[in-house]
Structure 1
């Protein structure tokens, strides 16, 4: 398994991912024309033909044996410049009455675009058949999540100071969002799927036009909806745990549709960014892989970026690769790799 930039020939595979991701996965709608434009935007980013504040770096996880796309992930260089990037910011308002000797604090939601200009790690999806015990030794989810940090570390000057990740919110067994049912549906003349589809297609102006500009008191929402604020979908918990281990934290921002948390950090504080280092490559025909691969390796060429697990630790400033590993990464002796111990 290896991570690589998405290519123009990946449209069919990407649409399979979009179809399996389903409702609530806003950044990957099942729209072939939109997916084709996303691929083209990503190609322009890796070729550095677009301004760095408008770049989408989109990666796929490829099963080299079958040629299938097992998953995907992406990085938005900077968000909110062309299309506003909205969140709710969870706040508190205090009310008191001296005459009645009463004091109350009430949670509120403010429409916010505070994250304008930040980078975003997004679009992480792993097909169900590539999860679970059968693929545990490959750690596909960790490969998807961590490879992005090595890319950011290698090309640090292309990114701003902060990074965020939006987490999918809670849905019940009927694929219904309690948060949307209690709040969003009262302001948008459409169902959740349509609102989700429009934002996935980049049509977000209606959010600022239709949402109230004043704070929303959460006490007017249902108890079920309030319980969803800052909580994640059951399938999103592993991704959230990986981000938390990298140092991303919830600071009170949530998705305006499903109430899922937005976690964030300063890029230079992210564990994988701080702890990854460059090593010289040595290719050896006698190198043997270990049973457990604890090292993640990534190349240093943006346009031909590749990342995968490797079977041994570096010695001094040199990493020895097997011929198969070198071929998978597209490197030869004398090249450099960025490594991270996991």
Structure 2
């Protein structure tokens, strides 16, 4: 398995991924024209033909045995410059009566664009057959998640100070969002799926146009909806745990539609960015995999960026690869790889 930039001939594979991702995966709608545009935008980003504040770096997880796309992930260079980027910010308002000696603090939701200009890691999806500890394709989600940090570390000057990730919120057994039913549906004359679809297609201006500009008191919401605030979908929990291990934290921002948390960090504080280092490649046909240590390696060119697991730790300033690993990463003796111990 390896990570590589999406290519222009990956459209069929990307659409197949979008069809499996389903409702709630806003950034990957099943719309062929939109997906083709996303691929072209990514190609322009990797070829550095797009301004840095408008780049989309889109990667795919490729199964070398048959060339199938097993998953995807992406990095938005900076959000909110062309299309508004909205959240709710969870806050509080204090009320008091001196005469009656009564005090009350009430949670509120404020419409916010505070993350405008930040980097976003997004669109992480792994096909069901490539997930799970029992599956032979072990740690594919980790490969997708962590490869993005190696890319950011290698091209640090292309990114701003902060990074965020939006997490899918809670849905019930009927694939219904209690948060949406309590709040969003009162302001948008459409169902959740349609609002989700429009957002995925980049048509986000209606959010600012239709949502209330004043604080919303969460006490007016039913308990079922309030319980969704800052909580994640069961399928999103592994991704959230990986991000938390890298140092991203919830700071009170949630998704407009489903109430899922947005986690964030300063890029230079992210564990993988801080700890990854570069090593010189040596190829040895007799190299033996280590039983414990697992290392993630990534190339240092933007257009040819490739990431994959390698079976041994670096020694001094060198990393020894088998011929198969070198072919997977498309490197030769003397090249440079960025490595991260996981």
Contact 1:289–1:322 (8 Å) recurs in 2: no
Please report how far the alpha carbon of residue 137 of structure 1 lies from its aligned counterpart in structure 2 after TM superposition.
Answer: 6.3
Equivalence for 1:330 = 330
Equivalence for 1:64 = 64
Question: Which runs of 5 or more structure 2 residues have no equivalent in the other structure?
Answer: none
Contact 1:89–1:110 (8 Å) recurs in 2: yes
Contact 1:73–1:122 (8 Å) recurs in 2: yes
CA distance, structure 1, for counterparts of residue 194 and residue 166 of structure 2: 19
Equivalence for 1:22 = 22
Determine whether 1:145 maps to 2:149: no
CA distance, structure 1, for counterparts of residue 302 and residue 157 of structure 2: 13
CA distance, structure 2, for counterparts of residue 135 and residue 8 of structure 1: 29
Please report how far the alpha carbon of residue 222 of structure 1 lies from its aligned counterpart in structure 2 after TM superposition.
Answer: 1.0
- What secondary structure, in the 3-state scheme, does the structure 2 residue paired with 1:24 have? coil
Deviation above 4 Å: which 4+ runs of structure 1?
Answer: none
What is the TM-score with the length of structure 1 in the denominator? Answer: 0.99
CA distance, structure 2, for counterparts of residue 172 and residue 100 of structure 1: 42
Please report how far the alpha carbon of residue 288 of structure 1 lies from its aligned counterpart in structure 2 after TM superposition.
Answer: 2.5
CA distance, structure 1, for counterparts of residue 268 and residue 18 of structure 2: 32
Please report how far the alpha carbon of residue 136 of structure 1 lies from its aligned counterpart in structure 2 after TM superposition.
Answer: 6.1
Determine whether 1:294 maps to 2:272: no
Please report how far the alpha carbon of residue 291 of structure 1 lies from its aligned counterpart in structure 2 after TM superposition.
Answer: 4.5
Contact 1:279–1:319 (8 Å) recurs in 2: yes
CA distance, structure 1, for counterparts of residue 236 and residue 133 of structure 2: 18
Equivalence for 2:315 = 315
CA distance, structure 2, for counterparts of residue 93 and residue 150 of structure 1: 41
Equivalence for 1:271 = 271
Contact 1:93–1:105 (8 Å) recurs in 2: yes
The 1:6/1:121 distance shift into structure 2, 3 A limit, reads same
Equivalence for 2:177 = 177
Equivalence for 1:211 = 211
- What secondary structure, in the 3-state scheme, does the structure 1 residue paired with 2:134 have? helix
Contact 1:229–1:261 (8 Å) recurs in 2: yes
Equivalence for 1:123 = 123
- What secondary structure, in the 3-state scheme, does the structure 1 residue paired with 2:251 have? strand
- What secondary structure, in the 3-state scheme, does the structure 2 residue paired with 1:212 have? coil
- What secondary structure, in the 3-state scheme, does the structure 2 residue paired with 1:106 have? strand
CA distance, structure 2, for counterparts of residue 85 and residue 46 of structure 1: 23
Deviation track 1:153-175 (CA, whole Å, cap 9, x = no partner) reads 00000000000000000000000
Question: Which runs of 5 or more structure 1 residues have no equivalent in the other structure?
Answer: none
CA distance, structure 1, for counterparts of residue 306 and residue 20 of structure 2: 24
Equivalence for 1:37 = 37
CA distance, structure 2, for counterparts of residue 138 and residue 128 of structure 1: 12
CA distance, structure 2, for counterparts of residue 178 and residue 292 of structure 1: 44
